[in-house]
């Protein structure tokens, strides 16, 4: 089902009936939830939340009305009662998230499922975090998508080694940005700036990894296994190169600059922390890729690849842990950067 078909279905009776729990609360919301909000502001917010949960229902293939009842308790009551969700900001965030997801789908940056996941994640980041949380993730997503397109145009044959490339799906979106979605919720409740710093670090790691891959495979270059430094085929998991390492550093710097306006740390400390965390996360990604990430072997041509299908045939298991695919590795890279920041702060009392 494409985006147009989803929108068409949402205009049917299922869409109206799924809003029933919202309309029930709305009748007394002005006096019960937040007296300072006008009925129009509450209605606007409910419509934005409706869009959010409809996308969630379609993404996980669940009944819309069921998702609404559960999600209402989690997001609407908790955030409103704690006076943390500002209707206008949230609505603007949801609309902007929808625009980004739609354009990205049209430009073939994202699959339909990737667009829905991006809409959900961006709604949270844009709606709760404003520009402060939006600029870094947009910098990563837009620039990385452009670089991926350019690399694919220049060296498309390298894609035969990658499990996924080019157009991102929902698992890739969540692997790269899901940690930020959790951190913005923690930040919203605590207003602790540490969570924002951790968000920048996690994005720096996934950006470093993405740019290392895309710039490192932009054209033919010598590639070496990160564990034993032996020369390997370009595109193999765990391979590193001079160009790729330069790409990792550059990607980390871009993310660091994107969040600079809202950082309270001394400039030098901030850049050293983020640059170190980002490159460290990228190296962790390569180490996992060279050791325990699942690899398959083509039964026709004999190439080792991340793909389950190669030469139009199903590949055979070669090595690694079957559950650890590229998305899981990216998630580990993001988490490792966060751990790096926390340990650095403890050790150096930053």
DSSP per-residue string spanning 117-167: HHHHHHHHHHHHHHHHHHHHHHHHHHHHHHHHHHHHHH-GGGGGG-SS-SS
Tell me: pLDDT of 291 over 90. yes
pLDDT at 269: 93
41 alpha-carbon distance from chain centroid = 30
Convert the pLDDT of each residue in 160-193 to its tens digit. Answer: 767 666 677 888 888 888 899 899 988 988 889 9
Tell me: pLDDT of 8 over 70. no
Q: Is the dihedral of CA 287, 292, 297, 302 positive or negative?
A: positive
Least confident of 73-82, 130-139, 259-268, 281-290: 73-82
Give the model's confidence band at 283: pLDDT under 50 very low, under 70 low, under 90 confident, else very high: very high
pLDDT at 248: 96
Convert the pLDDT of each residue in 313-324 to its tens digit. Answer: 888 888 889 889
**Which residue shows structure tokens 């590229």?**
326
CA 238 – CA 52 distance, rounded (Å): 37
Task: Note the pTM of the prediction, 2 decimals.
Answer: 0.80
pLDDT at 81: 45
DSSP per-residue string spanning 306-317: S-SEETTEEPEE
């Amino acid at each position: 089902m494409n985006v147009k078909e989803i929108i068409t279905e949402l205009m049917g009776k299922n869409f109206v009936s799924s809003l029933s729990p919202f309309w029930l609360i709305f009748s007394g919301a002005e006096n019960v939830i937040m007296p300072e909000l006008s009925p129009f502001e509450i209605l606007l917010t409910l419509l934005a939340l409706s869009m959010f949960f409809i996308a969630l229902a379609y993404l996980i293939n669940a009944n819309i009305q069921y998702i609404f009842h559960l999600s209402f308790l989690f997001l609407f009551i908790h955030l409103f009662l704690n006076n943390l969700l500002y209707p206008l900001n949230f609505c603007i965030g949801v609309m902007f998230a929808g625009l980004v997801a739609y354009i990205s789908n049209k430009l073939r940056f994202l699959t339909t499922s990737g667009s829905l996941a991006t809409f959900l994640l961006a709604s949270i980041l844009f709606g709760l975090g404003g520009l402060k949380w939006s600029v870094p993730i947009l910098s990563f997503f837009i620039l990385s998508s452009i670089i991926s397109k350019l690399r694919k145009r220049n060296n498309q044959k390298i894609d035969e080694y990658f499990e996924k490339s080019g157009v991102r799906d929902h698992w890739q979106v969540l692997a790269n940005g899901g940690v930020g979605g959790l951190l913005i919720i923690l930040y919203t409740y605590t207003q602790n700036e540490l969570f924002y710093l951790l968000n920048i670090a996690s994005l720096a790691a996934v950006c470093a990894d993405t740019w290392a891959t895309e710039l490192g495979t932009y054209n033919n270059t010598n590639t070496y296994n990160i564990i034993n430094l032996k020369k390997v085929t370009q595109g193999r998991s765990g391979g590193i190169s001079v160009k790729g390492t330069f790409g990792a550093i550059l990607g980390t710097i871009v993310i660091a600059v994107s969040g600079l306006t809202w950082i309270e740390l001394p400039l030098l400390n901030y850049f050293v922390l983020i640059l170190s965390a980002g490159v460290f996360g990228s190296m962790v990604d390569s180490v996992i890729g060279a050791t325990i990430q699942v690899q398959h072997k083509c039964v026709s041509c004999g190439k080792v690849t991340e793909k389950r299908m190669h030469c139009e045939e199903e590949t055979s298991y070669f090595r690694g842990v079957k559950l650890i695919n590229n998305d899981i590795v990216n998630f580990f890279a993001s988490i490792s950067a966060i751990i790096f920041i926390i340990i650095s702060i403890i050790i150096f009392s930053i």
